[in-house]
Amino acid sequence: MEARLAALKAAVPLCRDQAVVRAGSLKAAGLVRLILALLPLIKRYDQQIAEVFASHPDAPIFKSLPGAGSALAPRLLVIFGSQRERWSKGIEVATYSGIAPVVERSGKYCLIHWRWACPKFVRQSFHEFAASSLLFCDWAKDFYLTQRQRGKTHHAAVRSLAFKWIRILFRIWKDRCPYDPAKYAPASA
């Protein structure tokens, strides 16, 4: 912390032009006022989300997830929805969300990359849930560490974990039963 404070004190301003500095300062102050004005509305949205989520019949399923909490559990419920005929396999959810990798092959050429054409907030929700589960789920942490030891970057390892989680989420959603770590931990290793 002290090194960081020293670096801040030694920092050189990017620009000393007072017109630019004053305009930037005024813009920052205006944005702060806008954010402060929006906070009560955001609080009302959060309350309504919590109320609707609590009344949904599938809420116990998503509340049972390790690390989902009050923000991610409703997001995951919205992704899966109430129409169980919408998805017939977990891979469909993984593909739709952009978590499933795309493989392009032609002759000796093979390229694996992530999906660009997908709902980004859905992909982000699965990614955030997988990362959050690392703090609350031993098998998830072990899986993540194994992926890192194999040379994957942090985000690639989290995406691999999210891919695994999607299959579990799909099964508990389809079966309408809360997550049971004893049932899924051995299968995910």
Q: What is the DSSP string of 129-148?
A: HHHHHTTT-HHHHHHHHHHH
Instruction: Write down the mean pLDDT value for the chain.
Output: 93
What's the pLDDT score for residue 182?
A: 87
**Is 144 a member of any domain?**
yes
Q: Which domain holds residue 119?
A: 58-188
Region label for 87, one of left (φ > 0), alpha (ψ between -120 and 50) or beta (otherwise):
beta
Q: Both tokens of residue 84?
A: 């169980």
Say if residue 7 is in the same domain as residue 43: yes
| Distant-in-sequence, close-in-space partners of 65: CB < 8 Å, separation ≥ 6 | 72, 73, 76, 129, 133, 169, 179
What's the pLDDT score for residue 19?
A: 92
3-state secondary structure of 75: helix
**Is 13 a member of any domain?**
yes
Say if residue 144 is in the same domain as residue 63: yes
Rounded distance between C-alpha atoms, residue 169 and residue 188, angstroms: 12
Ranges of residues in the chain with a pLDDT under 50 are none
What's the pLDDT score for residue 132?
A: 97
Say if residue 83 is in the same domain as residue 172: yes
Say if residue 43 is in the same domain as residue 96: no
> For residue 32, what are the CA distances in angstroms to 19, 20, 40, 44, 177?
20, 18, 14, 19, 44
Say if residue 90 is in the same domain as residue 40: no
